[in-house]
Amino acid sequence: MNQSVSDVISIKPSAWTVAQIEALLDLPFGDLIHRAQLIHRQYHDANAVQLSTLISVKTGGCPEDCGYCPQAARYHTSLEDQEMLSLTEVIDTARAAKAQGASRFCMGAAWRGPKQRDIGKISEMISSVKALGLETCATLGMLKQGQAEQLRQAGLDYYNHNLDTAPEFYGEVITTRDYQDRLDTLEQVRAAGMNVCCGGIVGMGESRQARAGLIAQLANLKPYPESVPINNLVQVAGTPLHGTEALDHFEFVRTIAAARITMPKAMVRLSAGRQEMSEAVQALCFLAGANSIFYGEKLLTTGNPESQRDDNLFKKLGIRSI
Q: Nearest to residue 265, comparing CAs of 223, 215, 231, 205?
A: 223
Q: What's the whole-model pTM score?
A: 0.89
Contact 196, 225 (CB under 8 A): yes
Output DSSP code: residue 133. Answer: T
Of 99-113, 197-211, 213-227, 268-282, least confident by mean pLDDT is 99-113
Whether the per-residue pLDDT at 8 is higher than 70: the answer is no
Annotated catalytic residue, options 66, 104, 198, 285: 66
**Average confidence (pLDDT) over 123-128:** 96
Residue 285 a catalytic site member: no
Least confident of 19-28, 133-142, 276-285, 295-304: 295-304
Query: Which of 211-215, 221-225, 302-306, 313-317 has the lowest average pLDDT?
Result: 302-306
DSSP track, 59-111: BS-B----TT-TTBTTS--SPPPBPPPPHHHHHHHHHHHHHTT-SEEEEEE--
In this structure, are strands 158-160 and 320-321 parallel, antiparallel, or unpaired?
unpaired
Q: 179: how many CB neighbours lie within 10 A of its CB?
A: 17
Give the active site residue among 182, 197, 260, 274: 197
What pLDDT band is residue 256 in, cutting at 50, 70 and 90?
very high
The pLDDT tens digits of the residues spanning 187-203 come to 999 999 999 999 999 99
Q: Of residues 35, 62, 198, 285, which has the active-site annotation?
A: 62
Whole-number pLDDT of residue 2: 42
Residue 111 in contact with residue 91, Cβ under 8 Å?
no
Active-site pick, 35, 104, 254, 269: 269
Q: Does residue 73 have a pLDDT over 60?
A: yes
**Catalytic, out of 35, 104, 106, 198:** 106
Query: Which is catalytic among the residues 137, 254, 260, 285?
Result: 137
- Chain center to CA of 143: 18
Question: Residue 111: what pLDDT?
Answer: 84
List the beta strands (DSSP E) in the chain. Answer: 48-58, 104-109, 135-139, 158-160, 195-197, 200-202, 227-232, 267-270, 292-294, 320-321
Query: Which has the minimum average pLDDT: 1-5, 196-200, 250-254, 310-314?
Result: 1-5
For residue 81, the model assigns a pLDDT of 75
CA dist., res. 136 & res. 157, Å (int): 5
How many angstroms separate the CA atoms of 87 and 106, rounded?
14
Report pLDDT for 305: 57
Give residue-wise pLDDT tens across range 126-162: 999 999 999 999 999 999 999 999 999 999 999 999 9
Quick one: pLDDT band at residue 87, thresholds 50, 70, 90?
very high
Do residues 138 and 33 make contact, with C-beta atoms less than 8 angstroms apart? no
Query: What average pLDDT does this structure show over 78-82?
Result: 74
Q: What average pLDDT score do residues 174-181 get? A: 92
Average pLDDT over residues 277-306: 79
Class in CATH terms, 17-321 = alpha beta
Q: Verify whether residue 106 is a known catalytic residue.
A: yes
Give 68: exposed, middle or buried? Use CB within 10 Å, 0-12, 13-18, 19+: buried
| Catalytic pick among 35, 69, 254, 260 | 69
Q: What angle do CA 10, 13, 17 make, to 5 degrees?
A: 105
DSSP secondary structure code for residue 141 in this structure: S
Predicted pLDDT of residue 13: 67
